[in-house]
Amino acid sequence: MPSPRAKAAAVIHRVLQGESLNQLLPHSFESLELGQRALCQELVYGTLREWPLYQATCQKFLRKALRRKDHDLLSLICVGLYELDNLRTPPHATISEAVNGARDLKKSWAAGMVNAVLRSYQREQAGLRETLTPAAQSALPDWLFEILTTEYGECFEQIAEAARGRPPLFLRVNQRHLSRAQYLQLLNEAGIAAAPAPLSPEAVLIEKPVDVSLLPGFDKGWVSVQDVSAQLVAGLLAAKPGERVLDACAAPGGKACHILEQQPALAELTAMDISEQRLQRVRENSERLGLAMTTVTADASKLQESIRGKQFDAILADVPCSATGVIRRNPDVKILRQLGDIASFGAQQLAILKGLWPALKPGGRLLYVTCSLLKAENDSIIAAFTNDKESIIHPLSLGQGRPTQFGWQTLPHPSGGDGLFFSLLEKPG
């Protein structure tokens, strides 16, 4: 049976080869004993959040670059660096386990090299980070560092710190069942430390993350896991009784369910996604919460007449993006995402907006949302769209973040919400 360090290195190696964590997890941990899975996940996520830093650190100690086929060893060394810096494992045990990990990877010839790099780091780490590039010190790829420092200036440090930390656990209380104050009391009785979170009246911050099975009433639909910034969506869309609402990129369904929780008197809520497999997650979430919605598999950029003809009062377009505002939840972004991807996302985002616009009735509103921090996916897309389609942009003012030319940007915070962009458009009547 492989050690959790070797398994973590193998998973990261596959990310380096182009696979995403969403594809790899949780099946990658099935070969491990139950007690080792949490450690392995911590090593994978923690190492990826710091990847640009530890990759640059390795290069300081390796005599020559490792061949591509040996990048599992690079991953193993970086896992060891993360464990030395962040976990309570005694240093000698961390190094010993990393050396054993080389053998687990069937590369016993590299055991001495792994040992030498980690011991050299132990001896020489004081002042080492100052010799690295500013991007590596911030644990960001060069291209993203350049954009974020240019676009965010004095806010950059907060963004970079959030991108390398564990995300807080926020809950959304279903107020169709009970109030936030009542749910906080239930958490207190269950011995789970929690506090009301700002921005959303339904939001609760769990001080120490726990398994959802331990949350009171989770199986009864009393509460859902949802980032506090994402909880702003339903209030911004402000669905009214009798309206028809389309969530155009709905999976996994958190925002669609929140809209129905806030406004159960809709004429219809249609949850749409291009992936039938992902749409199943929407159905599972709505069933747990006891919410009725229509689900349909379709491409938002190429809507069929049967959907366009419904003429919705409100449309939510939470579009695919670079995920640069939620890196701490998707740390493989630091490896997988490249500068050239941003233009591709932009073309897709603009196509979705143009594809959805005919389905919005005159006087209706469309809320454009990304989990990106990049102007190229946010204001620039709205600017390109409004140059082509007549629309009214509603000014937004939220409790956290800052205004942009065409909307509002929340900023990721180490102990707060994620980085999301919102723009509210109205179709002239």
Count structural domains, the chain: 3
Residues 287, 350: Cα–Cα separation, whole Å: 32
Position 19 scores a pLDDT of: 96
Low-confidence ranges of the chain (pLDDT < 50): none
CATH number at residue 9: 1.10.940.10
Active centre residues (catalytic) = 371
Residue 261: strand pairing partners: none
User: Which domain range does residue 194 map to?
Assistant: 169-225
CATH number at residue 303: 3.40.50.150
Together in a domain, 111 and 60 = yes
Position 429 scores a pLDDT of: 87
Position 34 scores a pLDDT of: 86
Domain endpoint, select from 202, 225, 248: 225
Position 400 scores a pLDDT of: 94
Together in a domain, 247 and 101 = no
CA angle 198/222/218 to nearest 5° reads: 105
Query: 95-152 pLDDT, tens per residue?
Result: 999 999 999 999 999 999 999 999 999 999 999 999 999 999 999 999 999 999 999 9
Residue 156 lies in a domain: no
Position 245 scores a pLDDT of: 98
Count of Cβ atoms closer than 10 Å to residue 358 Cβ: 14
* Tokens matching residue 33: 């004993």
Together in a domain, 242 and 320 = yes
168 CB-near residues (< 8 Å, 6+ apart): 205, 206, 415, 416
Residue 155 lies in a domain: no
